[in-house]
Amino acid sequence: MLFQNTRWQTLSTPLREVPELCTRTRPRGLGFRLAMLLAAAVLTPALLAQVITMDTRTGTTTTGPGASQGAAVDRRFQQITPTHVPLSNTELDPKTRIELMRLMQAEQGFAMRPFPRGHKGLTLVANGKLEPAGESYLKMTTDMGLSAKPGDRVVLTDVKIEHGKIIFDLNGGPDAKHRFMRHVQVGTGQVMNPVVQDNEQEPTGARLTLAFEKHIPELTGAEVKQLLAPLISFDVKTPVQAFTDTLPTKLKNAILEHHVLVGMNIEMVLFAKGAPETKTREMDGQMPFEEWIYGKPPKDVEFVRFNGNRVIRLEVAKVGERPVIFTKDEVEGLMRTDGTPLMPEKDEPRVAKVGDVERDPDTQAPAAPPTLRKDGEKLPAEGDKTADTRTGVMKPVRFPTPKPADQPTTQPGANPDEEQVPTPASPAPDASQSVPASKMQSGLNPSA
């Protein structure tokens, strides 16, 4: 009940307020308030310096003093390295103000960090730190949405110079045009017409504020670009260079050398290898995946498997060699601020065995020969006394010798390929029985 309206990021602050909260509660019994004061007196010294920090990427919770300082987050949201641009002590005069706005208006650059949407935006202190940073930066991007990714081209569509700060609107800014007048309608009776005809599309721009300590000093366009360098690069670059400059060195070299690493997202693979020649979608159990295929024999063929937006498997097949498969994530550790990989063990590529399996005679036992016996089954000759003793030793099979009478007879002139069936010999006629010639001519049966 005491902490339902407080934040759980740090527990030390609510515990300090326990005595005050006990006095501000509704009037209850004296015993209730005494019990709460006693609990506050006991728990506050023990947990006063305890801080609980939750990593939103991994879900791990760290407890202890200063735990938030050691939490590992994505390096794209970490604190920047302050610049060292010499600034003058003279305040910005009106002439330089107009010239500065004219030079920075409609200037184009490349985003070096993610730019969230929203009216507040990011605040960069001149030669100082970025606000917000870390988990607050990540939370703002998650809640408000992303306006520009690292490596995207951004345009300074509006520049405002106020007391002690310069406000830049990127890609149209976060505020809608005529945001007040778009709600005003004019008409008579039941017919009302809006004052501003608007398509009511939500703005997708971002805002960046360059803040100074006391006043804005005399600045040139080049000095302003140097102060904004940690967030926006105004150098002339190709899209690949602009994107890879925001990544760690190892990941940048892999993309420039057109290599794919397990853990890359789709954008990194497209910058490294381009669009694939073939795409397939399949299921691995309950997990759907998409596989991109690069190359055709006799060249090397690479099979890049995606699950969602990440590479989970890479298979490299070369002609005449066994395919090499990589499954360890190499990018996640590079994108973390502490630099610790998820799997500290050494990455050993797994070689797929194709065809006959080769065994090492020194370390692997030979494979068992094929057999028709079941597991544990023995032959009678191996000492099984329970088996049927009437079964003797198997001897060679003898086929019957063909007899001369069984040989088929052939007639001269017959086809040797066709089997000749012997015809039984007809009995010789008896000479004692004579057949009249009249019956032979008439075709009657002599026996009739």
Q: Are residues 269 and 217 in the same domain?
A: no
Are the CB atoms for 139 and 224 separated by under 8 Å? no
Whether residue 115 lies inside any domain: the answer is yes
* Same structural domain, 86 and 142: yes
| Angle, CA 98 vertex, CA 94 and CA 99 arms, to 5° | 115
d(CA 126, CA 84): 9
> What pLDDT is stored for residue 61 in this prediction?
39
Same domain assignment for residues 119 and 229: yes
Q: Helix and strand tally (H, E) in the chain?
A: 10, 19
The pTM of the full predicted model, rounded to 2 decimals, is 0.57
**Cis bond upstream, residue 132 (ω within 30):** yes
- Assigned domain for 135 exists: yes
Is 342 among the domain residues?
Answer: yes
Note down the domain range covering 210. Answer: 75-179+203-236
C-alpha torsion angle, residues 360, 362, 363, 365 (rounded to 10):
80
88 and 217, same structural domain? Answer: yes
Q: Answer yes or no: do 174 and 288 share one domain.
A: no
Domain boundary among 317, 351, 385: 351
Do 169 and 311 fall into the same domain? Answer: no
Evaluate whether residue 2 is within a structural domain: no
In this prediction, residue 413 carries a pLDDT of: 52
Tokens of 245: 């400059």
**294 and 225 within one domain:** no
81 and 224 inside one domain: yes
Quick one: pLDDT at residue 109?
A: 93
**DSSP assignment of 99-143:** HHHHHHTT-EEEESS-EE-SSS-EEEETTS-EES-THHHHHHHHH
Q: Are 209 and 263 found together in one domain?
A: no
Domain final position from 293, 317, 351? 351
Same-domain status, 223 and 133: yes
CATH of the domain at 318: 3.30.1450.10
Total structural domains in the chain? 3
The answer as to whether 370 is a domain residue is: no
Return the closest-CA partner of residue 101 out of 157, 165, 160: 160
- Same domain, residue pair 278 and 140: no
Which letter, b or e, does each residue of 320-338 get, where b requires 16 or more Cβ atoms within 10 Å of its Cβ? Answer: eeeeebbebbbbbbbbbbe
Residues facing 313 on adjacent strands: 305
The pLDDT averaged over each successive group of 10 residues in the chain (448 residues) is 37 42 47 55 45 43 41 77 91 91 92 92 93 90 91 92 92 81 80 75 89 90 92 89 89 92 93 92 91 92 93 92 91 70 51 62 77 78 56 76 67 52 51 49 48
Residue 1 covered by a domain: no
Q: Is residue 443 part of a domain?
A: no
Is residue 91 located within the same domain as residue 132? Answer: yes
Question: Alpha carbon of 301 to those of 83, 253, 267, 275, 319: distances in Å?
Answer: 45, 21, 20, 14, 9
Where among 351, 372, 391 does a domain terminate? 351
Pairwise CA distance, residues 152 & 228, whole Å: 15
Q: What local confidence, expressed as pLDDT, does residue 125 receive?
A: 94
